[in-house]
Structure 1
Amino acid sequence: MELKALSVTELNKYIKKILTIDPILNNVSLKGEISNFKLHSSGHAYFSIKDDESKINCIMFRNNVNLLNFKPENGLKVIVKGYISVYERDGQYQLYAQSILLEGLGELHEKFKKLRNYLEGEGLFSPIYKKSIPNFPKKIGVITSPTGAAIRDIISVISRRNSLVNVYIFPTLVQGVNSSTSICENIDKINSIYDDMDVIILSRGGGSIEELWSFNEEKVARAIFDSKIPIISGIGHETDYTIADFVSDLRAPTPSSAAELCVKDLRDIKNFIKIRYEQSKISLEKNIVNMENRLSKLNPMNGRKIVENKLNTYENTIHSFKQVMDFSVQNYLNKAEFKVENLGLKLGTLNPFSTISRGYAVISNDYGTINSIEEVSIEDEIKVNLKDGHLICKVENKYKESILNGRIWPISSK
């Protein structure tokens, strides 16, 4: 049986199909060294990955290139993830790279993600804990290497924008074994000694993830969070992000940007004051002109009439108040007089002397008024009070009023 002859295109498509459905080749991780790296104007990257004995051509499309956090260079040891396929036009198989990691840094990336998620869960990145940056700081503490480019950039920017600001430099290790300890010590030192420090800039220049790793340490993150003085981070390049950036009160993309965010340009401040001064001056002059125009329209006669009208209005108001007050006082006095008269009448009815004047008598002894015959005995002396004097009498008999057969019977006698 004679097999059908395939075209070159058909063969390449068949090979591509075979490679595509292979589970290993469809998701492969390849480690090696970058060589022949070229970044095309289209944004695609073309390069090779090689070891001591072999190499394979690679391509990375623009959207994946833009996600890289470092600049690929020849000679770098990397781990490339992607899939194997065939470029049909040339009949050449190659690795289509989807991501590139520096070899040995995969563990650091995982450690970074784990710590970031842990601290975020604790709330160290929450905006509610971010301290505000003062608008016009007088004292700025800078924690960075005294020999790096970062400190030169910061001093240059601050001195150019506002030479009245005092900058305090705290020499710090920003890379290496003891760098995280050095950073923490200087943060604590500024907080404990310099209570009048307005803001801290934590900074260093760009570098690889290994070189920036001290800013990804947990103790550095907690030192930043515990700082009473607001901290601006300016670490690495714009695409570099560290744990310190997430915890700090304000993140700047570069050391120079940190200085710009910290200090307002004195020229801008002067221009702002000048503009507000001119606005206030124009507003004041306008108000003066308006008042002059209003005054020019007034004459003495009109002014006198206005004053007299106001005085008459006040006088009428006072007179009305006086009438209301007089009426209220008189009404109160009438009510009070009526109450007093009623009370006098009531007291008159209770007055014992008014009763005596009508022919009655009030009888008493040394103990008080006598209301019952039970209160006296035979031979007792009693006092009889009349309207024009009193009598001293002696009790000879006591009679109990008891109607019995029309007679009053004595209770006792001598």
Structure 2
Amino acid sequence: MHSNHHSYCSRDSQDKEWLTSPSKRGILAAETLPSMKQLSLFQSPSWTVTDLTRYLRALLESDANLQEVWVVGEVSNISRPASGHLYFTLKDSGAALRCVMWRNAVLRQSVLPGDGEAVEVHGSLSVYEAGGNYQLYADLIRPAGEGALYQEFLRLKARLEEEGLFTVERKRPIPRWPKTIGIVTSPTGAALRDMLNTLRRRYPLARVILAPTAVQGEEAPAGIVEALARLNRIVQPDVILL
């Protein structure tokens, strides 16, 4: 018993010497520094689920960059219950985003998308607290690429205005009842069918002449110019539709 007690005391003395000796200090020496404190690995939680969710919601709603956003993706899981609201998921190859459009915004949409359609959705991000998920509250949906096409149209319009092509002096009066109508477009496109249907209703007695040409691609500009020249040279229509 005596030898065991002596052995125990010696080991305790060695431990204290190791902790306090400058030549033997290691990681454990930190326990002797007054600036250090012991940390608990099991600290008490400081958030309730509700508090944390509301905090995250406030973060999203206070970020101006997330309140006026356009998001591009593919529509899936679209549904419109009796409430009139629209629910869908916007996804791409890497992620998915839940979206909701309230009834009033839905009624302003001229066309609603279907599953699998590529769209651009405008809205604001927030958190649905009861479900614990963030989602996009949409106020406008349009086909993907429509925004880019419209911007290109505005740039072209501005350039033509600078060239003076829209000045009053250049404008000619459009006859109320044209006798001959020229069309410059692709002979196989949907645009031709739409124009013919409209002309049948509004000008059923008019003579319609098509100058076929490509309207897309690198060769389209030269083809359109040549088709216009051909119409004016051979037919001289009262009006021309492009």
TM-score in terms of structure 2 length: 0.59
Corresponding position of 2:185: 144
Structure 1: segments with no counterpart, 5+ residues = 203-414
Cα distance in 1 for partners of 2:203, 2:66 equals: 59
Return the index of the structure with the highest Cα Rg.
1
Does 1:170 find its partner at 2:211? yes
Q: Kindly, what percent of the aligned residue pairs are identical?
A: 40
Cα distance in 1 for partners of 2:93, 2:191 equals: 39
Does 1:201 find its partner at 2:233? no
Structure 2: segments with no counterpart, 5+ residues = 1-43
Structure 1 counterpart of 2:127, from 86, 90, 98: 86
Deviation at 1:7, TM superposition (A): 8.4
Cα distance in 2 for partners of 1:110, 1:194 equals: 35
Does 1:32 find its partner at 2:73? yes
- In the comparison of the two structures, how many residue pairs are matched? 199
Corresponding position of 1:185: 226
Cα distance in 1 for partners of 2:201, 2:64 equals: 60
Corresponding position of 1:130: 171
Deviation at 1:23, TM superposition (A): 5.5
CA contact (8 A) 1:83 1:97 kept: yes
CA contact (8 A) 2:66 2:124 kept: yes
Cα distance in 2 for partners of 1:148, 1:185 equals: 19
Q: Secondary structure at the match of 1:34?
A: strand
Does 1:116 find its partner at 2:180? no
Q: Give, as a single letter, the amino acid of the residue that structure 2 aligns with 1:171.
A: P
CA contact (8 A) 1:143 1:171 kept: yes
Deviation at 1:177, TM superposition (A): 3.9
Structure 1 counterpart of 2:93, from 52, 60, 63: 52
CA contact (8 A) 1:44 1:65 kept: no
TM-score in terms of structure 1 length: 0.38
Greater RCO structure (CA 8 Å; 6+ sep): 2
Q: Could you report, residue by residue, the CA deviation over 1:179-203 in whole angstroms, capped at 9, with x for unpaired residues? A: 33322221122223334x222222x
Q: Could you report, residue by residue, the CA deviation over 1:78-114 in whole angstroms, capped at 9, with x for unpaired residues? A: 5545432122444432122355566666654443332
CA contact (8 A) 1:84 1:96 kept: yes
Q: Secondary structure at the match of 1:17?
A: helix
Structure with the largest fraction of helix: 1
CA contact (8 A) 2:177 2:203 kept: no
Q: Secondary structure at the match of 1:124?
A: coil
The 1:48–1:160 alpha-carbon spacing in structure 2 relative to 1, beyond 3 Å, is: closer
Cα distance in 2 for partners of 1:156, 1:25 equals: 44
Does 1:21 find its partner at 2:57? no
Cα distance in 1 for partners of 2:65, 2:201 equals: 58
What is the root-mean-square deviation in Å for CA atoms of aligned residues? 4.1
Corresponding position of 1:97: 138
Deviation at 1:150, TM superposition (A): 4.5
Q: Secondary structure at the match of 1:35?
A: strand
Q: Could you report, residue by residue, the CA deviation over 1:120-154 in whole angstroms, capped at 9, with x for unpaired residues? A: 34443345533212233322222233334544555
Q: Secondary structure at the match of 1:188?
A: helix
Deviation at 1:116, TM superposition (A): 2.2
Q: Give, as a single letter, the amino acid of the residue that structure 2 aligns with 1:47.
A: F
Cα distance in 2 for partners of 1:23, 1:156 equals: 47
Cα distance in 1 for partners of 2:222, 2:82 equals: 44
Deviation at 1:161, TM superposition (A): 6.2
